[in-house]
Chains A and B, each alone.
Chain A
Amino acid sequence: MNRLNFKILVVGLLFSTGVYVTSCKSKTKDESTQASADTTAVTPVPSAPVEIAADDALTTGVKDATKDHPGVNATVNNGEITLTGNIERSKLPDLMQTLNSLKPKKINNQLTIK
């Protein structure tokens, strides 16, 4: 029985060493592949295109956003919001935050700042 146990132990040791060596080999290989991928980064990770809201949704959103800013006129065309009229500087960030959340393509700020 003791001899059998010893054999099992030896086989086990050999096996685990084998696994260890194999895992080491593949790790080294992975690292080298990664290193070369890093230095030759020619294919950027594809990211989803930016979602732009439709003009109808933008027009509704812009109407709501400018309701409490009586001096501000806003038009929507092809995803772009154009702001004209006037606003107090302290109120501009709130308006811009809301307009930015509507997912427009671009905001043309032509407001006169009071």
Chain B
Amino acid sequence: MALQDKYKELINAASAAGVQNLQVREQDNVLYIDGEAATGQIKDNLWAIYNKIDPDFRAGDLIMNINVSAMAAGARAKVTTASSNLNIRKGPGTDQPIVGKAEHNSTVTLVSKMNDQWWLVRTDQGEEGYAYAQYLAVQ
């Protein structure tokens, strides 16, 4: 219960923001918070609170997995790489061959979700393949 007290502000914020299927579990001195936020902004806000309570995520006592429900098949997502173009790969893994590129700041269509890390996407040029979810944001 001590960890739930430590991260109380975070848990309350997740509840207040309407995070769906919110699960807060403690196991072997690690707190696990899972749920689905409606937007990437809500997720980012929760991560900012996490970083405030545990600066630079040093304590190793929380695993927070918040998915964004706006990331859904059929949605349009912006490529949010720092400056480079996003690799589109044949399969879900960086060991897979690159079959195309999605331009930095361009928009792609989400086709289907492989897992929390990889999405099958289609560019406006018609290229289809797997892209890393971290660099995709539904507007």
Contacts and interface: CB of A to CB of B under 8 A. Distances in A.
Interface residues of B, number: 25
A49 B65 contact: no
A107 B94 contact: no
B56 A109 contact: yes
Main secondary structure of the interface of B (DSSP, over half): mixed
B5 interface: no
A107 B117 contact: no
Contact of B134 (A98, A103, A104): A98
A100 interface: yes
Contacts of B60: 106-109
Given A92-B56, A97-B134, A102 B117 contact: yes
Interface stretch (A20-28, A30-38, A61-69): A61-69
Contacts of B119: none
Interface of A: 47, 49-50, 60-61, 63-65, 67, 89, 92-94, 96-98, 100-109, 111, 113
